[in-house]
Amino acid sequence: MTNHNKIYTNINKVMVGIFIYFMSLPIISPIMSRLFPSFWVCPYLEITGKPCPFCGITRDFDSLFHLQFQFINPLSIFMFCFVIFELIFRIVLLLKVKKYQKKLALFDILIHTLILGCIAIYVIVWLVHS
Protein backbone atom coordinates (compact mmCIF):
# COMPACT_ATOMS: atom_id res chain seq x y z
CA MET A 1 0.00 0.00 0.00
CA THR A 2 1.47 3.34 -1.01
CA ASN A 3 1.77 6.25 1.35
CA HIS A 4 -0.97 8.19 -0.51
CA ASN A 5 -3.26 5.18 -0.32
CA LYS A 6 -2.75 4.85 3.45
CA ILE A 7 -3.40 8.55 4.01
CA TYR A 8 -6.54 8.59 1.84
CA THR A 9 -7.83 5.41 3.52
CA ASN A 10 -7.25 6.90 6.98
CA ILE A 11 -8.99 10.13 5.99
CA ASN A 12 -11.98 8.11 4.79
CA LYS A 13 -12.08 6.15 8.05
CA VAL A 14 -12.04 9.37 10.07
CA MET A 15 -14.77 10.85 7.87
CA VAL A 16 -16.96 7.74 8.37
CA GLY A 17 -16.54 8.18 12.13
CA ILE A 18 -17.46 11.86 11.95
CA PHE A 19 -20.59 11.19 9.89
CA ILE A 20 -21.67 8.34 12.18
CA TYR A 21 -21.31 10.84 15.03
CA PHE A 22 -23.49 13.37 13.16
CA MET A 23 -26.13 10.72 12.50
CA SER A 24 -26.15 9.75 16.19
CA LEU A 25 -26.46 13.34 17.47
CA PRO A 26 -30.23 13.05 18.06
CA ILE A 27 -29.46 10.17 20.45
CA ILE A 28 -26.32 11.68 22.02
CA SER A 29 -27.60 15.25 22.43
CA PRO A 30 -30.26 14.65 25.14
CA ILE A 31 -27.83 12.53 27.15
CA MET A 32 -25.01 15.06 26.87
CA SER A 33 -27.29 17.99 27.71
CA ARG A 34 -28.29 16.22 30.95
CA LEU A 35 -24.71 15.26 31.85
CA PHE A 36 -23.07 18.55 30.85
CA PRO A 37 -25.79 21.23 30.65
CA SER A 38 -23.44 24.20 30.46
CA PHE A 39 -21.05 22.51 28.00
CA TRP A 40 -23.66 21.23 25.54
CA VAL A 41 -24.92 24.68 24.54
CA CYS A 42 -24.18 26.57 21.35
CA PRO A 43 -21.35 29.02 22.18
CA TYR A 44 -22.72 31.60 19.74
CA LEU A 45 -26.12 31.42 21.47
CA GLU A 46 -24.47 31.71 24.88
CA ILE A 47 -22.43 34.79 23.91
CA THR A 48 -24.92 36.70 21.74
CA GLY A 49 -28.26 35.40 22.97
CA LYS A 50 -29.22 34.72 19.33
CA PRO A 51 -29.20 31.34 17.59
CA CYS A 52 -26.33 30.63 15.19
CA PRO A 53 -26.79 29.64 11.53
CA PHE A 54 -26.62 25.97 12.56
CA CYS A 55 -28.92 26.06 15.61
CA GLY A 56 -31.75 23.58 15.31
CA ILE A 57 -30.01 21.11 13.00
CA THR A 58 -29.82 18.40 15.70
CA ARG A 59 -33.54 18.79 16.45
CA ASP A 60 -34.28 18.73 12.72
CA PHE A 61 -32.21 15.54 12.29
CA ASP A 62 -34.30 13.99 15.06
CA SER A 63 -37.49 15.11 13.27
CA LEU A 64 -36.27 13.63 9.98
CA PHE A 65 -35.47 10.31 11.68
CA HIS A 66 -39.07 10.23 12.91
CA LEU A 67 -40.34 11.24 9.45
CA GLN A 68 -41.68 14.55 10.73
CA PHE A 69 -41.06 17.37 8.29
CA GLN A 70 -41.13 20.50 10.43
CA PHE A 71 -37.81 22.28 10.24
CA ILE A 72 -36.25 24.95 12.41
CA ASN A 73 -33.28 25.53 10.12
CA PRO A 74 -33.46 25.65 6.30
CA LEU A 75 -29.98 24.12 6.11
CA SER A 76 -31.18 20.92 7.80
CA ILE A 77 -32.46 19.07 4.74
CA PHE A 78 -29.22 19.76 2.88
CA MET A 79 -27.12 18.68 5.87
CA PHE A 80 -29.17 15.50 6.37
CA CYS A 81 -28.84 14.50 2.71
CA PHE A 82 -25.15 15.45 2.71
CA VAL A 83 -24.38 13.34 5.79
CA ILE A 84 -26.20 10.29 4.40
CA PHE A 85 -24.54 10.66 1.00
CA GLU A 86 -21.11 11.15 2.58
CA LEU A 87 -21.51 8.14 4.84
CA ILE A 88 -22.46 5.90 1.92
CA PHE A 89 -19.76 7.40 -0.34
CA ARG A 90 -17.02 6.93 2.27
CA ILE A 91 -18.05 3.35 3.06
CA VAL A 92 -18.07 2.49 -0.66
CA LEU A 93 -14.62 4.06 -1.02
CA LEU A 94 -13.29 2.02 1.89
CA LEU A 95 -14.77 -1.23 0.60
CA LYS A 96 -14.22 -0.87 -3.15
CA VAL A 97 -11.25 1.41 -3.82
CA LYS A 98 -8.11 -0.57 -3.09
CA LYS A 99 -5.63 1.59 -4.97
CA TYR A 100 -5.14 5.31 -4.56
CA GLN A 101 -6.51 7.19 -7.55
CA LYS A 102 -5.32 10.75 -7.89
CA LYS A 103 -8.33 11.79 -10.02
CA LEU A 104 -10.77 10.46 -7.40
CA ALA A 105 -8.94 12.27 -4.60
CA LEU A 106 -8.88 15.53 -6.57
CA PHE A 107 -12.60 15.18 -7.37
CA ASP A 108 -13.25 14.53 -3.68
CA ILE A 109 -11.33 17.65 -2.68
CA LEU A 110 -13.04 19.78 -5.35
CA ILE A 111 -16.55 18.72 -4.36
CA HIS A 112 -15.91 19.34 -0.67
CA THR A 113 -14.33 22.71 -1.37
CA LEU A 114 -17.47 23.71 -3.28
CA ILE A 115 -19.71 22.48 -0.46
CA LEU A 116 -17.71 24.37 2.16
CA GLY A 117 -17.86 27.46 -0.03
CA CYS A 118 -21.66 27.18 -0.25
CA ILE A 119 -21.92 26.78 3.52
CA ALA A 120 -19.64 29.81 4.02
CA ILE A 121 -21.87 31.88 1.70
CA TYR A 122 -24.94 30.71 3.65
CA VAL A 123 -23.35 31.79 6.94
CA ILE A 124 -22.30 35.19 5.53
CA VAL A 125 -25.78 35.84 4.14
CA TRP A 126 -27.30 34.73 7.44
CA LEU A 127 -25.01 37.06 9.40
CA VAL A 128 -25.81 40.01 7.13
CA HIS A 129 -29.58 39.47 7.49
CA SER A 130 -29.66 38.73 11.21
pLDDT in tens, 83-126: 888 888 888 888 887 777 778 888 888 988 998 898 899 889 98
- State how far the alpha carbon of 107 is from the alpha carbons of 67, 69, 81, 93, 110, in Å: 33, 33, 19, 13, 5
- Of the candidates 63, 23, 56, 26, the one whose C-alpha atom is nearest the C-alpha of residue 42 is 56
3-state SS, residue 70 = coil
pLDDT tens readout for residues 36-89: 887 778 888 888 888 888 888 878 887 877 788 777 777 788 888 888 888 888
48 close to 130: Cβ distance less than 8 angstroms: no
